Amino acid sequence: MKLLLDTHAALWLFNEHEKLSSNARQSILDETNELYISIISAWEVAIKTSIGKLGDFRGGVKAFLSSVNNSPMTLLPVTSEQVVLVETLPFIHRDPFDRLLIASAISENMSIVTIDENIQKYPVSVLW
């Protein structure tokens, strides 16, 4: 299965935080699954670090990208197809990062690892 980690899921994984569900943790550790993190998440970490909203994750985007590079995750780029798909999504979720993650998961046929209940309202597979 192809898994796209939402930003918070990746941060919780890197911080070994207990908020990461046991199902999500087991799925991430299952070597038969392919793990992806979007460059969108790195962008989100950079922005939230710059405005002081990521106090529990030290090192900012450089540390985040280093954690990605030292993991079995593949960094997923943003494609024009994904951006176009965002325009057609129902406006349920207001967060632009999450809307682009949803479009990425749909276009790449991935499940999103997320606790976000709004994402579950879209036609995308969610794992938590």
Tens digits of residue pLDDT in 49-78: 999 998 778 899 999 999 999 999 999 999
Asked if residue 8 lies in contact with residue 113, where contact means CB atoms within 8 angstroms, the answer is: no
Q: What average pLDDT does this structure show over 74-103?
A: 97
pTM over 0.85: yes
Among 121, 55, 107, smallest CA distance to 76 is for 107
Residue 112 has pLDDT above 80, yes or no: yes
Tell me what the pLDDT averaged over the chain comes to. 96
Spell out the residues 6+ positions from residue 18 whose beta carbon is closer than 8 angstroms to its own.
Answer: none
- All domains of the chain, ordered by start, with CATH? 2-127 (3.40.50.1010)
**Are the C-beta atoms of 89 and 122 separated by less than 8 Å?**
yes
Kindly state the average pLDDT of the residues 98-125: 97
Burial class of residue 105 (count of CB atoms within 10 Å of its CB; 0-12, 13-18, 19+) = buried
Q: Is 37 helix (H, G, I), strand (E, B) or coil?
A: strand
pLDDT bucket at 119, cuts 50 / 70 / 90: very high
Checking if the pLDDT of 24 tops 80, the result is: yes
